[in-house]
Structure 1
Amino acid sequence: MKLIAIIGAVLASLYYLLEKNLDSFYIFDTDHLHGLAKRAIAAHGNDTRAIVNYIKAELSGTAKLSSHMANDEVWFFNNAGGAMGGMTILHASITEYLIIFGTTVGTEGHTGRHTADDYFHILSGEQWAYVPGEFEAEVYRPGDVHHLHRGDVKQYRMPDNCFALEYARGWIPPMMFFGLADGISSTLDIPTLWTTAYITGREMIGNLLLGKF
């Protein structure tokens, strides 16, 4: 029991230390990402493919970020909280992830209650969100950013074609349970589960080897 208590105290102290210094691990800037999304939209209008290419090119061409960006663009399904869409990972590490997420046919679901702040930059289409007790929907359009604060939860809907640059900062590994739960308990889509786990793990480990926590 004494050993367990010591281990618990060490882990609690380590968590407290890391939590107090989370900001020092981030390499992405929220204002820069918002500005980048708006510049890409202004340059390419309704051409979502061109918007995505613009974003990837700028991030990969930034000295501070280039070595931390995924080298390939692999699209795969994501089922989480009852919603379904496609995604590609631009960056994944212990404290941050950056993805493109969207669908051409619409979807609706539960945001999840997460250990990270989530910034959902709308690139095309609309996202609607609902909070219990409110009587009007939150509506986010191209150029807007929907900030879901750490620990908060909402119902959301992408009523039609909608794509977004999604950035999360905080503790990313616990979010994986939400991201994989539907695949394990409902869709049983093993190839997609494998692709999700493999690419996320590959990028997290690769960034750890570069000293990016």
Structure 2
Amino acid sequence: MRTLTTLGLLIAAFSSLFYFLDSHLEKFYIFEPAHLHALSKKAIALYGNDTTAVVNHIVSDLHANYPAHVNLDEEWMFNNAGGAMGARYNNRLYIIHASVTEYVIIFGSAVGTEGHSGRHTADDYFIILKGTELAYKPGPGSYQPEVYPQGSMHHMKRGEVKQYKMDEACFALEYARGWIPPMLFFGYADTFTSTLDFSTLWRTTYVTGREMLGNLANMKL
């Protein structure tokens, strides 16, 4: 009985803390979707389809503004999630930022990809740097895809789910804000059910964990 009482108190305390933090998430964000969108459009206007130059411009600007929270290591790796295969890629880095409440990455594929978006605990902003993304949200009277060309921003609200497709070469600046750790399970699932690429799983875990812990050390939740 005492054990159940203690467990109940712990659950109540954790729930109260979670709801308090969840209602104050805005205080932990350092990036803004509108700024990232404007920055991406400026980079596209300057460099067009030179995706390497576009990404380098974005990263340089973010590092100038958030030097303690932007990763400049050149890292990229495959990512399988929701049946889609892509490479989160940048000529200079892989994960730009990863913390408990936000991430900024480059996501895409040089040969195209398609899959399930997942239902996540964060708002997701997908800014197309090259190519076109198609998305589809099933519903009454919904028979046409959403079309997101270069320079546009696709916002998926927390808890929303869609099918998406990136024909041929397509890369995007992806920004998520909310609770990031639960999203990792979606990214890991295909490793155990299809690819069995545990080397990539370990690399993804290592880099993400390193960046999250580094940002926590810099007082960034």
TM class, shorter-length: over 0.9
Map of 1:138 onto structure 2: 146
Q: 1:113 aligns with which of 111, 119, 130?
A: 119
Gaps of 5+ in 1: none
Q: Deviations over 1:7-41 (max 9, x none)?
A: 01100110011011100000001110000010010
**Aligned residue pairs, count:** 211
The yes-or-no answer on 1:176 pairing with 2:184 is yes
1:85: which partner in 2?
Answer: 86
Q: Deviations over 1:140-163 (max 9, x none)?
A: 011100001100000000011100
Alignment equivalent of 1:148, drawn from 138, 142, 156:
156
Task: Tell me the residue number matched to 1:19.
Answer: 22
- Deviation string 1:22-65 (CA, Å, 9 cap, x unpaired) is 00000001110000010010000010111010001101111xx1
Alpha-carbon distance in 1 for matches of 2:5, 2:145: 53
In 2, Cα distance between equivalents of 1:43 and 1:183: 38
Relative to the length of structure 2, the TM-score reads 0.94
Q: Once superposed, which parts of structure 1, at least 4 consecutive aligned residues long, lie more than 6 Å away?
A: none
Partner Cα separation in structure 2 for residue 8 and residue 126 of structure 1: 45
| Letter of the 1:155 counterpart | Q
CA distance in 2, matches of 1:149, 1:79: 21
Letter in 1 for 2:10: I
Are 1:98 and 2:107 counterparts? no
Q: What are the equivalent positions in structure 2 for 1:193-212 lying under 5 Å apart?
A: 193-212=201-220
In structure 2, the gaps of 5 or more residues are 89-93
> Which secondary structure does the structure 2 equivalent of 1:167 belong to?
strand
Deviation at 1:171, TM superposition (A): 0.2
Q: For residue 41 of structure 2, what is the aligned residue in structure 1?
A: 38
Counterparts of 1:129 and 1:184 in 2: how far apart (Å)? 26
Higher mean alpha-carbon deviation, 127-136 vs 173-182, is at 127-136
Provide the aligned C-alpha RMSD in A.
Answer: 0.6
Aligned to 1:66: 67
> 2: CA distance between counterparts of 1:97 and 1:209?
16
SS at match of 2:181: coil
2:31 maps to what in 1? 28
SS at match of 1:156: strand
Write the distance in 2 (CA, Å) between the matches of 1:157 and 1:31: 24
Structure 1 residue 66 displacement after superposition: 1.1
Q: Which secondary structure does the structure 2 equivalent of 1:61 belong to?
A: helix
Deviations 1:72-125 (A, max 9, x none): 020100000000111121000000000000111111000000000000000000
- Secondary structure of the equivalent of 2:11? helix
Q: Does 1:122 align with 2:125?
A: no
* Aligned match for 1:57, one of 52, 55, 60: 60
